[in-house]
Chain A
Amino acid sequence: MVARTVPAALRRGLTFWRRSIQARVVLSTVLLSAVVLTGVGWFLLRQVEQGLVHHRLDSVLAEVGNEDVQADNLLKAVPGTDTDADEQASSLFAALAQNGEARGFTVVMAGAGQRDQPLDQRGPKATTRQSVLSVPESLVHHFDLVPSGQVAKQPAWTYTTIHTSGTGKASTQVPGIAVGSQVLIPADGSIRTIYYLFPLDDVQQSLALVTRSLLTAGVLLLLLIAALTWSLTRQIVTPIRLARRVAERLAAGQLQERLRVSGEDDLARLATSFNQMATSLQRQIRQLEELSRVQRRFVSDVSHELRTPLTTVRLAGSVLHEAREGFDPQTRRSAELLQSELDRFETLLVDLLEISRFDAGAAALDLDDVNLTDVVRRVVDGTQALALARSTRVVVRAPETPCVAEADVRRVERIVRNLVTNAIDHADSSEIVVTVAADEQAAAIAVRDHGVGLAIGEAAMVFNRFWRADPARARTSGGTGLGLAISLEDTHLHGGWLQAWGKPDEGAQFRLTLPRHANDPLRHSPLPLVPDDAAEVVA
């Protein structure tokens, strides 16, 4: 359930993302602002951190300077006859440790003699054992490099981690500064290294406070930016969205739809222009519809008006054709041509009337369950003679089971006939294959030839009225140029598809797909539009 819900939600989100300029603008602005704010925040934090740490370091070094002075004063004031070096060192350590307790640092004192041992094994005096562990080895090593018997002239410092443990609480680790300095014990001339450990927890807390403040300010600023961007884009996108909806309705034929104009700003003027454009389009479309309607009416009227004189001419022509044996050869040939062209003219007239019925919306279906395989075989049988005349062969590939669809059998047969005769006409003596297939939703018929094929773009034009791939090509099969157009209208009448595929010198294939139930929505076809042999070539 969840697995199905998440992708659905994701899909909806992606759809929303693709369709919403507002969301993209807001998110982009927020992201860009976040990057800038992060950069500024990082820079500020670095500045604050360096400022705090350097300021603390300065105060630490000044403090150590004072402690060194105090140590110097203490040792200089030692009576010259005092011989207790340990007492002197202990007193110095006690004085410094007492200062440290009051001023917030800890002290570690160690002898400078044992260089190869860890600090903890050099007999250190320290406020706590954790203090000894907090002195970094690098600092200890630094003073080990001072020549034996000499006092380091300069204190040295480094950053460290100070380990602390309070009563009743776990040990903690805080960043700190460790400063080392050396003194000479007057009693025996020995050298002691004093390490001062200054915690930086106050700096850390200040930095954390600044960080939290910056983060809070940054988040609030981002929210403000998001809200501002959302508000701004909404003012722009909402009219556009309204215009889109109106445009969609216009496209759907609701030409009376208009935008509501309010105000005098740019968007209002855009709406006004849009409405003017829609009015103009509506007027022109209506003019075109009217013109089209007049043209269709004209064609229909002309076709009807031609039927009566054609019948008369047809009777006269039949008389002449039947009496042609008595004519001289030239006259006989003329009589035969007259009869032939009258047949052709009559066929054209029938097609024109059929087209007119479609245009007038007068075409109606006479539905029945039709086995398409039977229809195909009937048509193939009917065109056998023509195929033989074209030195070609029409092969039917149909499943054993009937391919039944709810259709008008007369119209379907006309469609198939048109497709087969068209294929014979363009097969160039190659074999023609008619495939029939069906599934639960649809049934299909594909007519494949291996003739000259179709040039690029011609597949969409073959269904145009009176369209001819090669105008110089003779209509040997007696086509009127309206067959595929009528077939397409017949197909649409069923709610089906009629599609063409073709490539130059690789033949063509026309596919008729009908829903198993008339006017059910079609989602796929049981047969591919592109034939398998052609698909391999493409691949």
Chain B
Amino acid sequence: MSTRPPGPRLRLVAALAGAALVAACAQVPRQGPVVAVHVRAGATTPQGLYNNPRGPQAGDKPSEIVSGFLVAMTATPVQIRKAREFLTPEAQTRWQPQRVLTYNRRSAPRGMHHVVVRLHGADQVGTRAQWQGAVPRVDRRLDFPMVKENGEWRIAQLPDALIVPRTFYEQQYQEAEIYFFDPSGRILVPEPVHVPEGEQLASALVHALVQGPGRSLTGVDRSFLPAGLSPVVSVPVTKGGIADVTLNGPDPGPLSRPTVRQILAQLAWTLGQDASITSFRLTIAGHQIVNAAGAQSFRSGSREADRRDPAVSSATSQYYALKAGLLVSGQVTNPTPVDGPFGSEPQGIGAFAVSLHNHRVAGVTPTRLLVGPVNAVETSHGPMGAKTVLEGSGLLRPAWDFAGRLWEIQNTPTGARVMTYSGGHLHHVPVPGVTHQDVRRFLVSRDGSRLVAVLHGPRVDRIVVSRLRYDADGVALRGTRARRIPWVSSGTERVQDIGWTSPTTIEVLDRLSRSQAEARILNVDGSTAAGETHPSSISGRAIGLVTSPRSGPETPYAVLPGRLYSLDTVDTSPVTIDTPGLHHITYAG
């Protein structure tokens, strides 16, 4: 038999085998060319001002290096990468600027091996981002020892701070609050901080919050965040407004539900100031925090109904006043007497204060401090009447805080005494800088953490603030040394009245003349940024203020004889309300 060439059958079998082989080779690829993606999803360009100063130039003189260094610190968004190029490697390692020095103007850098720059109008922000006021005189002179590195001058030593002009600071930094709790953990206490605005805001806020209130505020407020934590480099915010707060540090172990609630409240109120954040997630030492409902994402922002609101939003928003010696409340245009002892018959009180939840009234007569219910309260011995808790002269308008504590300052021949009445007991609270001073007016914040007083001086009045310390049961212990709030009078240098406009700001009424006054808002931390706000001008003989720390329904007014003058900056034209026969008009608190 002779051999034949491959026939159709053989080719068929070969094709079959080949096809089966190819089919068996249907595999996921394991190698291939590198492909560039043409669209980078999510890549964004920086918003807002952009300033990228140049670095050191070859042959720069020492003064030019220092000048360039000062300019490089004004890079926007805030960053010091370029500024570090002006430093020696050792200085680069040491320089960790956590403070900020601001100045209105500076001298030109002078010197060769030792360049000197003088700052004028310098203030500083501390490592916890808190305002620290004016820089001491000795620190306003900046010394920059210079050395040559590779033939170029570089700065060898420098203050461990970011040194920027005031205008730059005001553009790039903003005032905000971080929220702690009072020692009893019942109410949030805001602490003003000064942090970069924009995309770094959330990181800076969390960074400041995690550091805690600091030793100087021991007994004033506390943080429920476990100690020893530190945030990762930043708090990124997604496009959807979700901030990822990741805190590293030693594992605090399981956190109780109340503690988690307090922590979440602190973060919610703090992050709520960043308009780009709607909610946040929290991870502590690698553990994702969930609330009692199992949620991992929490809404940020302050809530009016939150009982931990430092402005005590649950407080009554009614007006209170005296009319014909009787306590009236309700609409300011049509108030009605309360049915308690102070509304039933005149008690002879002048200034008075109503507790935040409309329960009690404290009023002062020329010789007594009376406390009684707002509305009629029946007891086994009959209707509850007004009770004298203190006798003596020189009593100022009292104040109530969220815990129902009544605060009073009595001017005595030896000076003022600060007292608090709580639980039926009255006790003194030493407040250095206020006690024994001539106090003309005082305020206690609704959260009970701040006492602001107007001290009468020979020529000018001073406004001071003290932080009030408590024990864990909420018993007031003492105040911190009062610190002056810078205030520059445009008129008589006398403070006519003060009132809260927020938990951290006060309104100061300054009478310019008999028919002209102005009201100015000051930050209680003394930062001049707030002090430079435009004052509200008041036409008329202003004699007092009606304000509330809660924004919204409680409009701030200046009290003129027989009428109220609106200080609401939203109103374009002045609004006045006639209040015939009403005296000592006030909100609760």
Contacts and interface: CB of A to CB of B under 8 A. Distances in A.
B169 to A, nearest CB: 13
B12 A35 contact: yes
A158 B235 contact: no
A82 to B, nearest CB: 6
B429 to A, nearest CB: 38
Contacts of A159: 29-32
B81 A186 contact: yes
A139 B12 contact: no
A91 B31 contact: no
A300 B225 CA distance: 139
B41 interface: yes
Interface stretch (A72-80, A425-433, A470-478, A485-493): A72-80
Contact of B43 (A38, A68, A158): A68
A76 B199 contact: yes
A31 B200 CA distance: 71
Given A72-B42, A73-B238, A61 B12 contact: no
A76, A142, A157 interface centre (most CB from chain B within 10 Å): A76
Contact of A74 (B16, B97, B233): B233
Contact of A207 (B28, B42, B80, B96): B28
A157 B28 contact: no
20 contacts: A31-B9, A35-B12, A35-B19, A42-B23, A49-B27, A49-B28, A62-B41, A68-B41, A69-B41, A75-B233, A77-B200, A77-B237, A78-B233, A80-B79, A81-B96, A87-B233, A95-B232, A95-B236, A157-B34, A207-B26
Interface in B27-61: 27-38, 40-44, 46
Interface in B394-410: none
Contacts of A186: 79, 81
A165 interface: no
A333 B138 CA distance: 181
Nearest to B236: A73
Interface stretch (A148-156, A260-268, A269-277, A410-418): A148-156
Interface string B251-293: 0000000000000000000000000000000000000000000
A204 B28 contact: yes
B95 interface: yes
B20 interface: yes
Contact of A91 (B44, B204, B233): B233
Contacts of B199: 73, 76-77
A530 interface: no
A88 interface: yes
B544 interface: no
A73 B22 CA distance: 47
B482 to A, nearest CB: 32
Contacts of B80: 80-81, 83
Contacts of A38: 16, 19-20, 22-23
3 tightest CB-CB pairs across the interface, nearest first?
A: A65-B41, A69-B42, A80-B78
Contacts of A79: 78, 196, 200, 203-204, 207, 234
Contacts of B79: 80-81, 186
Contacts of A28: 9
B305 interface: no
Nearest to B94: A83
Nearest to B199: A76
B27, B32, B35 interface centre (most CB from chain A within 10 Å): B35
Interface string A55-70: 0000001100110111
A42 B33 CA distance: 24
A175 B28 contact: yes
A158 B430 CA distance: 72
Given A70-B238, A79-B196, 4 more contacts: A66-B42, A79-B203, A81-B162, A158-B35
Interface of B: 9, 12-13, 15-16, 19-20, 22-23, 26-38, 40-44, 46, 75, 77-81, 84, 92, 95-98, 162, 196, 199-200, 202-204, 207, 232-239, 244, 246
Contacts of B207: 79
A226 to B, nearest CB: 14
A45, A66, A77, A211 interface centre (most CB from chain B within 10 Å): A77
Contact of A31 (B16, B26, B203): B16
Nearest to A57: B35
A381 interface: no
Category for how many chain A residues contact B = 35 or more
Contacts of A81: 78-80, 96-98, 162
A294 to B, nearest CB: 48
B30 A138 contact: no
A45 B204 CA distance: 54
Contacts of A32: 12
Contacts of A188: 81, 84
Nearest to A76: B199
Contacts of B244: 95
A203 B28 contact: yes
A203 B36 CA distance: 22
Contact of B16 (A35, A76, A87, A88): A35
B34 A158 contact: yes
A23 to B, nearest CB: 13
B211 to A, nearest CB: 13
Contacts of A189: 81
Contact of A80 (B30, B44, B77, B202): B77
Nearest to B76: A80
Given A42-B22, A88-B233, A175 B29 contact: yes
A175 B27 CA distance: 9
Contact of A158 (B16, B32, B78): B32
B34 A139 contact: yes
A69 B239 contact: yes
Given A45-B23, A53-B29, A31 B13 contact: yes
A25 to B, nearest CB: 13
A531 interface: no
A161 interface: yes
B345 to A, nearest CB: 62
A90 B96 CA distance: 19
A350 interface: no
A42 B22 CA distance: 7
Interface string A111-151: 00000000000000000000000001011001000000000
A349 interface: no
Nearest to B99: A81
A83 B233 contact: no
A136 B26 contact: no
A432 B291 CA distance: 126
A81 B203 CA distance: 12
Nearest to B286: A98
Contact of A161 (B31, B33, B40): B31
Contacts of B232: 91, 94-95
A138 B97 contact: no
A153 B40 contact: yes
B515 to A, nearest CB: 50
Given A35-B12, A69-B238, A156 B35 contact: yes
A46 interface: yes
A322 to B, nearest CB: 70
Contacts of A203: 28
Contacts of B236: 70, 73-74, 76-77, 95
A45 B41 CA distance: 31
Contact of A35 (B15, B29, B75, B77): B15
Interface in A12-56: 28, 31-32, 34-35, 38-39, 41-42, 45-46, 49, 53
B96 A83 contact: yes
A61 B40 CA distance: 9
A211 B26 contact: yes
B26 A42 contact: yes
Nearest to B82: A189
Nearest to B242: A73
A193 interface: no
B28 A78 contact: no
Nearest to B230: A87
Nearest to A203: B28
